[in-house]
Amino acid sequence: MLFLRTLNLGVKSLLLHPLRSLLTVLGIFIGVASVIWLLAISEGISLEAQRQIESLGADTIMIRSVKPPNEKMATQGVTPYGLTREEYEMLVSTIPTIKSAIPIREIRRQFQYESRTIDGRMVGCTPEYAEVTRLVIDRGHFITEAENFNTVNVCVIAAKLAAKLFPYEDAIGKRVYVPENTDFYTVVGVLKDRGASAAIGGSMDSQDFSNDIYVPIKTLQLRIGDVVVRNSGGTREGEMLELNQITARVDNVANVRSTAAIITNALASHDFMEDVAVVVPLELLEQARTTRLMFMVFMGLVAAISLLVGGIGIMNIMLATVTERTREIGIRRALGAKQADIVLQFLVEAAVLSVVGGVVGILAGLFCTPVVIQAKWFASEYYPTIFKSLPEVVRNLTPAIVPESIPIAFFISIFIGIVFGLFPAIRAAKMNPIDALRHSN
């Protein structure tokens, strides 16, 4: 009963100054909401990064050709670099833990149908490529073993490219012209739309699949070859590249690191040219999870500063309240109230401010995901240029509320309210009753 009377008295005292109490609650509200929002945004960014890495496959190893530094490229003629088909055969035949491997060749080309022309990427690959890269056929079929073996001029095109080249007709059966090689490729399949993949650290560049054409890798080798020559300023410069990438799948996730080490040693001859990189998605995933924890701790500290500011606001208000109510405190002491009763009264008032601010802050925090989604939609609709210029991770961001952040933020807000309300409460309790009664408000 004593606590209920104290609580009732505390609430009435706060309602005597509604604007001041509201501003104090606002500090705690902002602190609690910011804890939930910042942790939700950091969790969303982390989940997006992990999703990108997981899409590569935890049991895969990606061996990529990297263009050497300029000083290692020939100023005249053709510079051979990167992975070779011979090395692909060597890795597959000599490393028993590799259960399958996919050779990939990529080259920039212009694609044409009637009067419509699009710049895009031609990807030479095998039938397994679609499964590894999560490509889904919308209609038709993906490249077959027979088409690759017989070097048939067929292609599978991305959904957005199909919409650009064939806006009014079905692409299946049509022939796409590649002017640079004076070749035609018959469309045998159209893919479902797939969003671009974001860059992952410094290990993987972002990839845009929207303007891709996929052809049998043996067809690309036969029709285009390995040499790309450019004529510039009277000089003839060129590159010789057989494979852009080899994606190897390991028989067991436990063997990924040891297999990657064997591959790195097997390709040690590339160390001088610095033209090959071995990327292990499993290691990237573990790094992303570690970074997630560090990022969440950092964001939590930033949000905690807001709560600290709210706590200082509570202390400031309570000190002002003690000064204003000095005579009231003296009367209560004269009527028999103990120091503990005075401390409890002011602590209850501080706790009420904290609880109200915490509850409202939690309610605001739960709106993080819909608010961010609506903000992204608004930006994409009314400011498309600015929205497209944002980093990929921001455009794809969907905040994920961290369940633990809700009780943590709430109890921290109460703790801060009590801690910062304790000094004013003790100060009020230690007043000399006679001096307090002499005080005139």
CA proximity to 263, closest of 403, 87, 416? 87
Domain boundaries, the chain: 2-53+287-438, 67-274
Residues of the chain with pLDDT below 50 are 199, 201-203
The letter for the amino acid at 194 is: R
Cα–chain center distance at 241: 33
Q: Measure the CA–CA gap between 46 and 295, rounded to whole angstroms.
A: 9
Sheet with 227-232, side-by-side order of all strands: 77-80, 235-240, 227-232
CB 131 within 8 A of CB 161: no
Identify the pLDDT of residue 285: 61
pLDDT in tens, 319-341: 777 767 677 777 776 777 777 77
**What pLDDT does residue 393 have?**
67
| DSSP 8-state secondary structure symbol assigned to residue 211 | T
What is the signed CA dihedral for 419, 421, 427, 429, rounded to 10 degrees? -100
Which amino acid type is present at position 236?
Answer: R
- pLDDT for residue 154: 95
pTM tops 0.85, yes or no: no
What are the two backbone dihedrals, phi and then psi, of residue 142, each rounded to the nearest 5 degrees?
-85, 175
Please give the helix or strand (H or E) that residue 154 lies within, else none: strand 154-157
- List phi, psi (to 5°) of 383: -135, 60
Q: What are the C-alpha distances in Å from 299 to residues 19, 30, 41, 124, 411?
A: 31, 14, 9, 44, 18
Phi and psi angles of residue 395, each rounded to the nearest 5 degrees, phi first: -65, -30
Predicted pLDDT of residue 202: 47
Tell me what pLDDT residue 237 has. Answer: 62
The answer to whether 101 touches 94, Cβ cutoff 8 Å, is no
In the block, tokens 């995933």 appear at: 285
Residue of 243, 116, 234 lying closest to 179 (CA atoms): 116
Planar angle of CA 100, 104, 110, nearest 5 degrees: 155
User: What is the CB neighbour count within 10 angstroms for residue 112?
Assistant: 15
Res 70: pLDDT:
73
Angular region, 121: left φ>0, alpha ψ -120 to 50, beta rest: beta
> How far is residue 131's CA from residue 430's CA, in Å, rounded to a whole number?
75
> What gap in Å lies between CA 341 and CA 332, rounded to an integer?
9
Q: What whole-number distance in Å separates Cα of residue 342 and Cα of residue 363?
A: 32
CB atoms within 10 A of CB 293: 10
For 285-321, write each residue's pLDDT tens digit: 666 666 667 766 776 677 677 777 777 777 777 777 7
∠ CA 281-395-165, nearest 5°, is: 90
Answer for the pair 35, 308: CB distance below 8 angstroms, yes or no.
Answer: no
What is the reported pLDDT for 137?
93
